[in-house]
Chains A and B, each alone.
Chain A
Amino acid sequence: MKNVFRAMILSVVMGAAVLALAGSAEATHAKLDLVAPSRLTAGHSVNVEAVLHSTPGGESVAGATITFYMDNSFGGVDGEVMLGQAVTDENGVAVLNYEPRTAGEHQLRVEYLTPGENEPEEATWSHSVDGASGQLYRSTSGVQIPGLNVWLLIAVVATVWAVLLSVAARVIAIAYAGDNGEVGDRRPGAM
């Protein structure tokens, strides 16, 4: 009888120890909070923080991977775009640099899957984005050197043609000079 009782206590103690060991590194439940600025403009990036606490207890969970999603639709496909992943630091904070690209009301969803759990922890953040003032994607090609442009070419061509036309004018001058009936030497050397 005493042995059975001892075995039971041993297994309870061992079970408790296992449970305690299992539970001490990670929380059995976690809670996600999002901290982010409220007013956003398309094209300006902000830092979105996801804070992970274990429940109950509220201590921060470090080293956890948090994934950030947003709904969108493009080219006839509706779905979720993964914006990125971040790992929580010692304070349980994971930071993602997020650049909104479209104006309007949006919802950013954050997800954390506790190991051993089936259901991920989620948090959403609704925010509104103001429109951008201009195009955000800039493709620059080419180097602008002041003065080296098409007008320079036009100026050179125009100058050359002006000189050619002056030569043509000389021919007209020859014709006029021949009009006065003077007869001269054909040979350039004669005097």
Chain B
Amino acid sequence: MKGRHPNEDTKRSRDMTEERPVPEGRELAGHGIGRRGVLRLLGLGAIGAAPLAVMPPILRTALGGKEVRSPEKAARTKDGRIRQWTMIIDLRYCDGCQSQEAPPRCTAACIEGHFAPEPMEWIEVFEGELPGGGTQFIPTPCQQCQNPPCVNVCPVAATFSTPEGTVLIDQNRCIGCRICMAACPYDRRFFNWGKAPIPPESLLIDYSAEHQVPAKRGTVMKCDFCPDMARTGTLPYCVQACPQDAIYYGDLEEDIATNGKGLVAASRFLTENQAYRLKEDFGTKPRVYYIAGHGEAAGRDPYTKDRLPTTWPWTERVKGAKTWSR
């Protein structure tokens, strides 16, 4: 070992076919493999990489597969263009149903219509503080983002954007990893931690991603904008149920919206009332717009706080189902 430069031999040993004495251990770590060795490596590597080509995700990428539902089923305007659903919530009219002396009717109707398991409130009426001490009620459905963080992170495309711009969940594919729940900045996704506390009759309904009944244990669900109803021209449960007609449902493609009583031109309605979206800074680009207010048009005094807590009306639940806390 003495007097020998560690790299002396390895510098010369490039051709593997030449008989060489075994290099010393210290040199072994830095032993070159030679030009032929590199070529052999690449050749074997290319053969070895072939199986990757049959991996399903690669195939789907190659064939241009998208996770968007088929546009054939999309809701369309009279002249055949795909509807772009939106919701405009006029907070000047929302008083949290204080005047009704009942829990918020929008949430109640949604729960009844969708058999939303307890304790899920797919449209939830939050009470936000106003500068100066009063509060405002903010009915918050899924914001149906156009840059949806939940769709971006889902590993199996169980949650996906439709051509109408809504975000749906396929509970038959969801693996329950809950990264979408971590990603949603609006707290609008709910997990079926146990057997869903829903009435037994809901088990008889055929499940579809547009009508998430019955809920499946171990998967995620949320507000879906009632796309199956909207396609037939029926307004979602929350829109129909609001006693103050504060919620508008609309189509940005035809530029029209309604709260069940009157019609408005959506873009003009948004502009003239300085409509805004929640957490605009995050760049999620929601489809739900808000018009600032605190229920004054419904006669609410902003310093009258609190709304009644939501209840779930089922008298009977699926056997073995227990509710859980949020």
Interface of A toward B, CB cutoff 8 Å: 42, 72-77, 79-84, 99, 101-104, 131-132, 134-137, 139, 141-142, 150-151, 154, 157-159, 161-166, 168-169, 184-185, 188-191
Contacts and interface: CB of A to CB of B under 8 A. Distances in A.
Among A82, A150, A158, the most chain B Cβ lie within 10 Å of the Cβ of A158
Contacts of B261: 77
A77 B265 contact: no
B264 A75 contact: no
Interface of B: 1, 21-25, 28, 40-42, 44-49, 52, 58, 61, 77-82, 84, 146-147, 165, 230, 233-235, 239, 249-258, 260-265, 268, 283, 285
A154 to B, nearest CB: 6
A132 B79 CA distance: 9
Contacts of A185: 22
25 contacts: A74-B254, A74-B263, A76-B234, A77-B258, A81-B264, A82-B264, A83-B268, A84-B265, A101-B256, A103-B79, A131-B80, A132-B81, A134-B81, A135-B84, A136-B81, A137-B84, A141-B147, A161-B49, A162-B42, A162-B45, A162-B46, A163-B45, A166-B48, A189-B24, A189-B25
Contacts of A189: 1, 24-25
Contacts of B42: 162, 166
A174 B81 CA distance: 65
A72 B250 CA distance: 13
Nearest to B287: A139
Contact of B45 (A77, A83, A166): A166
Nearest to A135: B81
Among A80, A166, A184, the most chain B Cβ lie within 10 Å of the Cβ of A166
B76 to A, nearest CB: 11
